Amino acid sequence: MVATPGPARTPLTYREAGVDIDAGNEAVTRIKRMVASTRRPEQLSDIGGFAGMMGLPSGLREPVLVSCTDGVGTKLLVAIALDRHDTVGIDLVAMNVNDLLVTGAAPMFVLDYIACAKVVPAQIEAVVSGIVEGCRQSKAALLGGETAELPGMYAPGHYDLAAFAVGVVERSLTLGPARVRAGDVAIALPSSGLHSNGYSLARRALLDPERAGLGWGDPLPFDPSITVGEAMIRPTRIYADAFTAMRAVDGAPLHAAAHITGGGLLENPPRAYADDLALRLDLSGVPLPAVMRAIAAQGVDEEEMLRTFNCGVGMLLYVDPAGVAAIQAALGDVGEASVVVGEVVPREADAAAVQIRGFAP
């Protein structure tokens, strides 16, 4: 049976189906100049091609490439609710770059992926401005990316972010569990707040009418100088300058590091030392951010806080005891605060991998 044409219809276009190529092109035009500001000397291409090209830094005898991928998670719902999109890009870069740093790698480049219900050029420009700022803080190039308009996949006004980062390290200078030994000193670098983890619990505790029932513009409990929205949108810290400073310390006393992300202070620290070691951690010298105190006050117990949030510690360093003073001096030179918080010890039978005291939410 041969199909017969129906009545004359208005021509069907991609735009009518929900995808606006012109809007996508406008978004690219808006971001080109920002992206160019992140260019590195090793970079061989600019955005607009099918793939980005990057050479390796000179002077490395046995370079090792390090790669990772991550997103921002439900913190994006905060950005959407506040209609503020210029900081979540920093979070996106931070969640990737901080994972690179703990291997000893120096970040080289980032690729981003933005998926949305509808391309709004001004919104995409705002998101990318944050990604660019994160790359600047990291000394990484924004080498390329993709913006996908997916009508029907996302709710109107919603979008998701992912990124992929690559760094490089001299093989002999890699950090990690093989270098950590009993007696190493644990040093904490402070977080700026929630960073990009635990937002499903944070939103439930602070915004749910059956819990704190707060609004975005309400003063934050325990710190009324800022609003709930300001506390929850605050971007993740990037520790690139701190690691650059520590790499220059003679004797390489930094043995390993743990980025405190999902899993908090219970699951992340052991990722940086062997199973026969444990960490005795004293948090009495680490202030708990006000936003986390407000969350804890809604009935979140200590163990749940410790395994969900960073609890004020954005990065944990494992340092040779003879090099602690030099590491802290190097950190101070770049304006990075640091607090000695514990020690790596032999792990006794049936003992926890992380043994915490001094935590007072």
Please name the helix (run of DSSP H) or strand (run of DSSP E) that holds residue 343, with its range, or none.
strand 339-346
The 106-116 sheet, strands edge to edge: 63-71, 159-170, 106-116, 141-149
* Residue 263 phi, psi (nearest 5): 105, -15
Same domain flag for 183 and 326: yes
Residue 15 lies in a domain: no
Q: Whole-angstrom Cα distance, residue 40 to residue 142?
A: 9
Residue 4 lies in a domain: no
Residue where one domain finishes, among candidates 149, 173, 197: 173
- Could you tell me the residue range of the domain that residue 310 belongs to? 177-357
CB neighbours of residue 152 within 10 Å: 8
Same domain flag for 204 and 160: no
Same domain flag for 140 and 194: no
Same domain flag for 155 and 213: no
* CATH value at residue 273: 3.90.650.10
- Domains in the chain, number: 2
pLDDT value, residue 10: 75
Residue where one domain finishes, among candidates 173, 188, 206: 173
pLDDT value, residue 5: 62
Distances from the Cα of 127 to the Cα of 4, 51, 158, angstroms: 48, 21, 12
pLDDT value, residue 7: 64
Judge whether 312 and 191 are in contact, CB under 8 Å. Answer: yes
54: its two tokens:
């990057």
pLDDT 10s digits, 83-93: 999 999 999 99
Same domain flag for 198 and 161: no
Same domain flag for 241 and 336: yes
pLDDT value, residue 26: 75
Residue 325 lies in a domain: yes
Residue 7 lies in a domain: no
Alpha-carbon dihedral sign for residues 151, 152, 156, 162: negative
* CATH value at residue 139: 3.30.1330.10
Residue 26 lies in a domain: yes
- Residues in the chain predicted with pLDDT less than 50, given as ranges, are none
pLDDT value, residue 331: 98
Same domain flag for 352 and 221: yes
Residue 6 lies in a domain: no
Alpha-carbon dihedral sign for residues 17, 18, 22, 28: negative
Of 203, 120, 133, nearest in space to 159 by CA? 120
pTM over 0.75: yes
Distances from the Cα of 193 to the Cα of 81, 189, 233, 303, 347, angstroms: 19, 12, 9, 18, 31
Residue 12 lies in a domain: no
Same domain flag for 165 and 204: no
Same domain flag for 218 and 348: yes
Same domain flag for 160 and 182: no
Residue 9 lies in a domain: no
Q: Whole-angstrom Cα distance, residue 18 to residue 69?
A: 29
Same domain flag for 260 and 158: no
Same domain flag for 222 and 185: yes
Per DSSP, the residues of 183-246 read TPEEEEEE-SSSTTS-HHHHHHHHH-TTTT---TTSEETTEEEEEHHHHHHPPPP--HHHHHHH
